[in-house]
A and B are shown apart, each in its own frame.
Chain A
Amino acid sequence: MTNPTLATGLLSALCLAVPATLPLAASAQTPELRVLTYDSFTAEWGPGPQIEAAFEETCGCDLVFESAGDGAAMLARLMLTGDRTEADVVVGLDTNLTAAALDAGLIAEHGLSPDLDLPIAWDDAHFIPFDWSWFAFVYDTTRIDTPPASFAELIDSDLSVVIQDPRSSTPGLGLLMWVEAAYGDEAPAIWEGLAPRILTVTPGWSEAYGLFLEGEADMVLSYTTSPAYHIIAEDDETKAAALFEEGHYMQVEVAGIVANTDQPDLAAQFMEFVTSDTFQSIIPETNWMYPSVMPDAGLAEGFQGLIRPETSLLFPADEAQARRDAALDVWRDALAR
């Protein structure tokens, strides 16, 4: 029997599989800045690689990304690692999640007051926005001539929509807040009206958007900036977002310094970098969101024709957190019928 030898061989194979990031390597001279972000940020086609290269040019450091699935997974990762977290900066929480991170005492103040180009006022001692967009229902112009112009019109239509589950997805939670912000006490009636229009609910954004692209549903909950991807990257002008007269809820994605970072200076330097022209001009065509500070060169043409809601809705972080549980119950009761 060769099992013991097999096990030894296996162990060595596994050790080889661990990249050269073992603690030994940490004794290198270059300081390391660890940035915790969501998965698609660090992808080859995401903003991560360009941002890493640009920051490393000036910081004399090694920027390392840690990735968790999405914003909520990042928060869970931070909570799980607690005081032992090795991350120095978090990039990609949204305003529906920041309150929980603050309550847990995980985030330090940044001490900056950048000039931002947001449709709303922003004043937050802990978080700095790096991009934003409005939630919207995206449709295919070859299949829908006149999209609904409000939740009421959507309810009265015979269109089918795919949404994300607010219990597992940040856009899903965004829609919950959208209905809450636009309708308040009437939210239950809106959800009951929407229920027959909802083809299905998916765990995350990618499943929902995938179903929409396959033609399973007429509309999908996404962002007003989603069509820019199809226009710029695919030369496809058939995707558009429907403008709702109630106004659109915003997703604002923020960066913050981890409270017990061992690289406070580098982390502060990175927070300044977040609103720099270099960082901000990378964002639109890699993350397909609006930059939080308009780059000098402006936005690509593909962004020019997008809908721009006049009313922007957004709850302050603590109010979003306070409203969530009751809103979830309403959502579940209405859709579970």
Chain B
Amino acid sequence: MTLTDYLYYVILPLLAFSVLLIVYRFIKGPSIADKIIALDVLITTGIGIIGVYSIIHGRSTFLDTAMILALIAFLSTVAFSYYLEKRNRKK
């Protein structure tokens, strides 16, 4: 079993399964903060999937996308928490 087969048949299904679990929490989440956390972890898991994918295909250009995704995850969490606090104040 080569490294590519191992990554393709063991690692990627495990990551996809964890994405399914996170999406379940994203849909179910009782408060809106849970949904924001699930979104953050979803993007973080996406960075991991992009890393594994770039190892499988041998192309390092996918890592630029991972960098942008890390930026977007941080920005979206900060903006969501800011407006969550602000919305509560106005009420």
Decide if A and B are genuine partners.
no
